[in-house]
Amino acid sequence: MGELFELQDEITKKIVVSLQVKLTHGEQARAYAKSTENLEAWSYGVRGNYLLDRFCKEDNVKARELLETAIKLDPNYVLAYVWLGATHAQAASYGWSENPLDSFERAHGLAQKALSLDDKSASVHTLLGMIYLFLNQHDKAISEGKVSISLDPNFSIAHAILAQTMFFSGAFEEAIQLMQKAMRLSPYYPAFYLVFLGRSCVFMKRYEEAITAFNQLHDRGQRGECAADLGLTHLARVYAEFGEENEARALMAAALKINPTLSLESFKQGQPFRNPAHMQREVDALAKAGLK
């Protein structure tokens, strides 16, 4: 699909949107396409959003450049502001930003700009929910997530971000239900959906489901759709928690070979648990698997 993004005409736009509906975002792709009439801006926006969904530091930087260009081409492109804001929020929450608070402020400013252009945009409220979550304002994050879903009940990302919020709020069963619905709404959902589905399953001691999710995450990493060490790290945590320490250590060793910078401190970044005991449970399992 990447090659089609380079072709900036109405026919190509219809082809790309049709492919997105069938293969990735579902019907939400049609709503995305209506956010701008500027074909060149739309092309930059689509490519930026594609890279944003990969949850990778390098792709985050590339996405930001594309989305900044999209806004220059169309200063009223609501979704470009949302996606650009999401790059800053993502960078701050995953430890990719030198100044996380500054990044969150930028994200919030972009969300407010998008809100001034369209206060009924589910995407804007989803971004606000993401920002409030990582600022540890869980109730505000939940409220924004519910507003987003009420505005667009078929919006997959809204369900996924609210699922992430419920996970960090300790409502693991609700997080599972929301994420499963997000997956049903998106023909080929972003890899990060599997992260929070699997982690929620672990807290509910649904280990087989967690292993299935993290194996799928590992496959996505092998295809370059997320960090290659992510699935292995979470698989190691599962095996450590239910007593398979040798398997856990082997998986963690493989993850560290891919990403030697992994550490317990780096893991703790961007983990806005409402209950510190939940954070400690994950940290203890990772330490048991050999992460230091």
Q: What pLDDT shows up at residue 95?
A: 80
Q: What pLDDT shows up at residue 266?
A: 86
Dump the DSSP string for the chain: -GGGGG--SHHHHHHHHHHHHHHSSTTHHHHHHTT-S-HHHHHHHHHHHHHHTT--HHHHHHHHHHHHHHHHH-TT-HHHHHHHHHHHHHHHHTT--SSHHHHHHHHHHHHHHHHHH-TT-HHHHHHHHHHHHHTT-HHHHHHHHHHHHHH-TT-HHHHHHHHHHHHHHT-HHHHHHHHHHHHHH-TT--THHHHHHHHHHHHTT-HHHHHHHHHHHHHHHHTTSS-TTHHHHHHHHHHHHTT-HHHHHHHHHHHHHH-TT--HHHHHTT---SSHHHHHHHHHHHHHTT--
Q: What pLDDT shows up at residue 18?
A: 47
Q: What pLDDT shows up at residue 21?
A: 42
pTM beyond 0.85, yes or no = yes
pLDDT averaged per 10 residues, the chain (length 292): 48 50 49 69 86 85 96 94 94 85 92 93 94 94 97 93 98 98 90 96 97 97 90 97 94 96 89 96 97 96
